[in-house]
Amino acid sequence: MSTAGHSAIERRSDPAHHGLFATAPRHVALVIVLVITGGLWIDARFGWPGQCATIVWTFLVFAWLYRRSSATERRVLVLCTIISGIGEVFLSLVWGLYDYQFHNVPLFVPPGHALLMTLGLITIRIVPRWCVGLVVVAAIGWGVHAWTANSDRFGVVLCALFFIAVTFGKARVLYATMFVLALIMELYGTALGNWRWLDIAPWTNLTQANPPFSAGAFYGVLDLLVLNALALWQRRTPARAIQTQAPAGVPGPFQPERRAEP
């Protein structure tokens, strides 16, 4: 990437997430897409054995990503897994907004959220800032339709969370990117039958689509919580410089290769 390209990214990046997975090669994104799409298909297709296989696959990819990440990136992976796990238990098992096929929270889901956030952090390199406005306008248009048709009023309420994150958060491109990526994953997962959103959202008596069009708002909130928790962690205990486990003389996959001195 050119110096001008790096400068453009730096201008639109928030310090809380600037540089995270910035040097990850394209195959990292492809691996994440493969484990999410393939894992969900296996989980839906083969029942309990498929779910166990998806758990193993997801944790292997998570471990591979963790091993090759910097100290700060590792913190993001850990924080996202913990916070999303707590959120899943509350949203699914306590609130009951959606239900997984075996009425549990599959163990691959929390690290899967961390992988999806990593995909978002990689994707924002190529997402122009004007896309934030495009996503907001599309969300407003669909929200008006969903409320008028009484087909997904809970989704409209959820959309307010997305607007708050975009308005007051600094990682606007990330929130908009995650909003879209999460919607794609939700449409895919619900189509396969991995989970299902209830027709009426509990505690609200509002209609709810399967999935709500703004389910990605939860991911925006997750990102906001993770980045703020990361900033707090960094202030208390600054992360050390980038670390990899690659053998001596062999550059890690997230690090640019260094040329030998003449």
Residue 217 lies inside a defined structural domain of this protein: yes
Q: pLDDT for 158-181, tens place per residue?
A: 999 899 888 888 889 999 999 999
Q: Greatest CA separation found in the chain? A: 71
Position of tokens 């195959």? Answer: 27
**Count of the separate structural domains present in the chain:** 1
- For the segment 208-249, what is each residue's pLDDT rounded down to a tens digit? 999 999 999 999 889 989 999 999 998 888 876 444 444 443
Q: Does residue 3 sit within a domain? A: no
User: Would you say residue 170 lies in a domain?
Assistant: yes
**Domain residues for 177?**
20-236
In terms of Cβ atoms closer than 10 Å to its own Cβ (0-12, 13-18, 19+), residue 43 is buried
Per cent of the chain over pLDDT 70 is 85
Question: Looking at the domain assignment, is residue 26 inside a domain?
Answer: yes
| pLDDT tens for each residue of 100-149 | 999 999 999 999 999 999 999 999 999 999 999 999 999 999 999 999 99
In a domain, 118, yes or no: yes
> How far is 22 from 10, CA to CA, in rounded Å?
11
Compute the distance between CA of residue 205 and CA of residue 12 in angstroms, rounded to an integer. Answer: 40
- The DSSP result for 242-260, as a single string, is ----PPTTS--TTSPPPPP
Q: Which residues contact 150 (CB under 8 A, 6 or more apart)?
A: 207
Residue where the block lists tokens 């453009």: 8
